[in-house]
Amino acid sequence: MKFSIASLEDTAYLAEVLASHLRPRDMIVLAGDMGTGKTTFTQFFGRALGITEPITSPTFNLLHNYGSGRMALHHADLYRLERTGELADLGLDELQDIGGVVMVEWGDIVGNELGDALIIRFAHPADVDAIYSRSIEIDLRGQQWLSRWQKVSDELATKFSDLVRG
């Protein structure tokens, strides 16, 4: 699926729709260049889950955990991952096993290692003047989000008029 967003409010809407369909054990991979909005998206997503702690970028610690929302959120950033063993050390699959939701910035750099996931790719559009615009591409890996996907895409299509499915 592909569509464009034009504002921070659009990013918040995307986060709210996805958060409203969230289930324990979900994995969301956030891909895209620096400054495209991965952390900003996570902040809106956390707010939609009722998280009251401030959500900050886990660039240096690799993993932050938030327990105050209606589901536990584990927010990782693999940008500084130096060896593949470090990914196993984070224990993301164990956090999923106990019902946590895992959101991973730069999660695409480890290929398919994170398993079934919703993959959201953020990009700056070609028009550099449009500072709040982003192009968004969402793909599903595995079965995890499949049964919800029709509803999610219908809700997104009501807001994003250029949305193309597939």
- The entry of ligand ATP, Mg ion, none near residue 75 (CB within 5 to 8 angstroms by kind) is none
Contacting ligand ATP within 106-145 (CB under 6 A): 131-132, 134
**Of 25 and 79, CB closest to ligand ATP:** 79
Does 34 participate in binding ligand ATP (rule CB under 6 A)?
yes
**Of 6 and 146, CB closest to ligand ATP:** 6
Each residue 68-107 as x (binds Mg ion by CB under 5 A) or -, in order, gives -------------------------------------x--
- The entry of Mg ion, ligand ATP, none near residue 40 (CB within 5 to 8 angstroms by kind) is ligand ATP
Using CB under 5 A, which of the segments 10-18, 37-45, 122-130, 150-158 binds Mg ion? 37-45
Residue carrying the six token digits 């700056």: 124
Dist. CA 121–CA 138, nearest whole Å:
6
Dist. CA 121–CA 76, nearest whole Å:
16
Task: Count the site residues for ligand ATP by CB under 6 A.
Answer: 18
- In this structure, the strands spanning 101-105 and 73-77 are parallel
Does 144 participate in binding Mg ion (rule CB under 5 A)?
no
Using CB under 6 A, which of the segments 8-16, 93-101, 112-120, 155-163 binds ligand ATP? 8-16
Dist. CA 66–CA 5, nearest whole Å:
27
Going 145 to 146 to 147 to 149, the CA torsion angle's sign is positive
What three-state secondary structure class fits 79? coil
Does 57 participate in binding Mg ion (rule CB under 5 A)?
yes
Q: Among 88, 92, 87, which Cα is nearest to 75's?
A: 92
Would you list the DSSP string of 100-135? -EEEEETGGGGTTTT-SEEEEEEE--S-TT-TT-EE
Which parts of this chain interact with ligand ATP (CB under 6 A)?
5, 7-8, 10-11, 32, 34-40, 57, 105, 131-132, 134
